[in-house]
Amino acid sequence: MSKLFTPYALGPLELSNRIAVAPMCQYSAIDGLATDWHMIHLGQLALSGAALLTIEATAVTPEGRISAGDLGLWSDDHQEALRPVIAAVRRHSPIKVAIQLSHAGRKASSAVPWEGGANVAPDEAGGWQTVAPSAVPHADGETVPLALDAAGLERIKQGFVDAARRAQGLGLDAIELHGAHGYLLHEFLSPLANRREDDYGGTLENRMRFPLEVFEAVLAAVPGMCVGMRISASDWVEGGWDIEQSVRFGRELAGRGCHFIHVSSGGVSPQQKIPLGAGYQIAFAERIKRDTNMPTIGVGLITEPQQAEHILQSGQADMVALARAMLYDPRWPWHAAAELGAQVTAPPQYWRSQPRQYKALFGETRLGQR
């Protein structure tokens, strides 16, 4: 039996298989509000056959957006803009839906990727003043962020809490806190970005403090809900955040009741040197899974069904998440199930699409034709 298509649970969240659609920024919101693009984009992915669909990085405060086109959840208006999208998904798909809550920190105020993705200065159209653990820019020549004071830390933590409550109010199934890719929570963890000399900087314990405080506050705000975190397991820069520190952080999260850890890498420094290759981050997931005993999601250039199956069969991760591969092929789970001899959920409107050689792909179907 294919392990990829066996049920699995992330804490309280029961899933029909072990495939997740990773969060993928669309840069298509207006003032943080969801648009018809989100209806189309999330709607097609909801029919993919994956067990879990994660809504893109969603800013908890206005200045926490990566770009002016980022999705937000910092007000009730933002909650209401997402509501019809979630309702449509629920009407037509059994997929579970998570949301990734984020603050971009010093990497905020950027142009959208198809306009170059460069930092936008505060005095330019579409730009604003960024904030971070320390007044250290992401790259030379970029905006110098304001170092967060105690009031700023509290404001952002409350932003995460309020956004989490709105996510629960939307009936979402899980929350993933974005602690990866050089955004704010990762910036606190990494000594490359965090130069503070107070209780939130210096030692590993201090650098972990704010991300752990945010996690604890969010978990307490949404009782009964699945809450996990995405991390970058390595900065891929000497002297930066690394796998040993990631294991320590994972253990701290596990001890606080974290339901899963989603293991990515990189993003905090333009000096990173990443050896890209198929499944290049899976060794990190394997180590964290082994040493924290927490449900672990592996991600990163997972493109082939047999590759995903091997990751699970060998115990390197408990689930796999796909991003670009799912954009390229929104029916990837269908094709994986066909290749691995498994079954997948599909809407009845599409039952007639299964090829004859895979007639059991969607289980027992009763089709009439007029």
Q: What pLDDT, in 10s, does the model give residues 92-127?
A: 999 999 999 999 999 999 999 999 999 999 999 999
Long-range contacts, stretch 356-362, CB < 8 angstroms, 24+ apart = 361/334, 361/337
For range 8-15, the mean pLDDT: 98
Mean pLDDT of 271-275: 93
CATH superfamily of 3-358: Aldolase class I (3.20.20.70)
Cβ neighbours, 10 Å, residue 109? 24
pLDDT at position 369, please? 54
Q: What is residue 70's DSSP assignment?
A: -
Half-sphere exposure of 140 (CA within 13 A, CB side): 1
- Residues contacting 43, CB < 8 A, separation 6+: 85, 88, 89, 92
Report domain extents, the chain. 3-358
Tens of pLDDT, residues 65-94? 999 999 999 999 999 999 999 999 999 999
List pLDDT tens digits, range 277-323. Answer: 999 999 999 999 999 999 999 999 999 999 999 999 999 999 999 99
Using alpha carbons, select from 174, 177, 286, 295 the residue that is nearest to residue 233.
286
Q: What is the mean pLDDT of residues 210-227?
A: 98
Helix axes 76-92, 150-169, angle to 10 degrees: 30
Check if 183 is active-site. Answer: yes
Cβ neighbours for 353, distance < 8 A, ≥ 6 positions apart: 346
Instruction: Output the pLDDT for position 356.
Output: 87
| Active-site pick, 183, 200, 280, 350 | 183
Q: pLDDT averaged over the chain?
A: 96
pLDDT bin (cut points 50, 70, 90) of residue 1 is confident
> 342 is written with which tokens?
């498994």
Q: How many helices (DSSP H) and strands (DSSP E) are in the chain?
A: 10, 13
Give CA–CA dist 276/357, Å, rounded.
Answer: 36
Q: What is the pLDDT of residue 368?
A: 54
Both structure tokens of 219:
């978990």
